[in-house]
Amino acid sequence: MEDKYAKTAREILNCIGGGENVISSAHCATRLRLVLKDESKINMDALEQIELVKGNFNNGGQFQIILGTGIVDKVYAEFVKIGNVAEMTKEEVKQEAAKKMNPVQKLLKTLADVFVPILPALVASGLLMGINNILTAQGMFFADMSLVDAYPQIKDLADMINLASNAGFTFLPVLIGFSAAKIFGGTPILGAVIGAIMIHPDLLNGYSYGQALLDGTVPYWHIFGLPVAKVGYQGTVLPVIVSVFCMSFIEKRLRKVVPAMLDNIITPLVSVLVTAALTFLFIGPVMRTVGDAMTNAVMWLFFDLGPLGGLIYGVTYPLLVITGMHHSLVTAETQILANIQTLGGSPTFVVVACANCAQGAAALAVMMLMRKNAKMKSMASASGISAFLGITEPAIFGVNLKLRYPFYAALIGGGIGAAYATMMHVLSVSQGPCGLIGVICIRPDCMLQFLVSTIITIICTFIITILFGKTIGRKQQA
């Protein structure tokens, strides 16, 4: 007799158009990840009636079916066997899914892929900066004194931690160059060299560029009569990404035409030299302007509009998640963190954390409202907890969007919490899990207000979801 996992696998295959409609498949801890030839063949109503299926959503070209921990691997084993489907890794499935994206989606995915490998370095640097802030903050533990002032013997330790915390941000272009070259198909170490060239100590430090412009003291090279600003790109993100893209393009073309005997000499030489020239002549100045505009737009939203700006960002973020456009925010966030010493921190992290907690609170409220629908109750409880930890897709696509009213409530509740956080000037010092546990990424003097912001978000969203469920969503309670 067919066991429940094989039965579930066969039912899923029937609902998605059979094994012949599957381009690639993989699974993560809780979900089947599928790339399908024709998504119009999906029988959504029948899929949602399968006992072990807890929800589904489409994200980044992948159709994902939520089964749960301990179940998905067993169902997947039967799925590939019954459907005669080729097994792939998650990365290979992502590559297949990317082929179905439009140019804008591909661009945003590429930007996100560049930053994902370097996130641990930014998280470590940010958290070390938080530790340094605890040690050196005036009045946190003693009136008008820091821990270093009170205990001078730890001053050298604090200095060492401060140096370690700055390293990731100081050499960020090198890290980005290495990562971007891997994504663009170039030699990673040459990408790192381009990043290093852009922050070479012989250049005017990028952080001093604005004042040098005002003072008229910007240094220049004069190359064949052409003045080229001798300025570094510290605290920037886009210039190194575009420069390394050009370097990778040049390198790949050269490797096709340069004789093998000369390839290891000519290709790196020409790739680095031409890219460096293009960087200082065109790419750097243009992309610095674009990057500064992005950063200024975010700063204007939060520091000029204040709570209204936080409200707008908090309401907009979940809408961007639905379309996958939220990946575009990674670039601006990283550039803000790269300038953390001058800006003090990023205001966007707490807003995203509030938006995510709102989705979790809405899902948990749905769990309270559902009386007879055991499947929806189970899905709502699991996805709600997941959202509090920063993973919102199951809550958004599996529960809130499906019922609509919880999603509307989450937009309102998340916006309220984000507005409060912005009003209280809550800032983060690193990237990390955008949920309740994200408190570890917040500046020490802002941690309490971060927790207050998320609690306000959760309470408001829960109450609004219950009210909506009793009114506009009452027909869906079963």
The answer for residues whose C-beta is within 8 angstroms of residue 205's C-beta and 6 or more apart is 232, 234
3-state percent breakdown (helix, strand, coil) of the chain, nearest 5: 70, 10, 20
- Specify whether the CB–CB gap between 400 and 359 falls below 8 A: yes
Query: Residue 77 — φ and ψ, nearest 5°?
Result: -60, -40
Active site amino acids: 28
* DSSP state string for 256-291: HHS-HHHHHHHHHHHHHHHHHHHIIIIIHHHHHHHH
Residue that the structure tokens 């973020």 belong to: 317
User: Residue 55 pairs with which residues in a beta bridge?
Assistant: 66
Kindly tell me the sign of the dihedral angle through the C-alpha atoms of 99, 48, 30, 453.
positive
What stretches of 142-253 adopt beta strand conformation (E)?
220-223, 226-229
Please choose, from the candidates 221, 246, 229, the residue with its C-alpha nearest in 3D space to the C-alpha of residue 285.
Answer: 229
β-pairing, 62-66 with 55-59?
antiparallel
Cα dist. 337→51, 123, 158, 317, 333 in Å?
45, 10, 21, 19, 6
Closest CA to 269 of 281, 254, 256: 254
Both structure tokens of 184: 């663009």
Q: Which residue type, as a one-letter code, is found at position 12?
A: I
Q: How many helices (H) and strands (E) does the chain have?
A: 23, 6
Residue 424 token pair: 């209280």
Residue 199 DSSP SS3: coil
Angle between helices 238-257 and 188-197 (to 10 degrees): 130
Are the C-beta atoms of 313 and 351 separated by less than 8 Å?
yes
Q: How far from the centroid of its chain's Cα atoms is residue 469's Cα?
A: 31
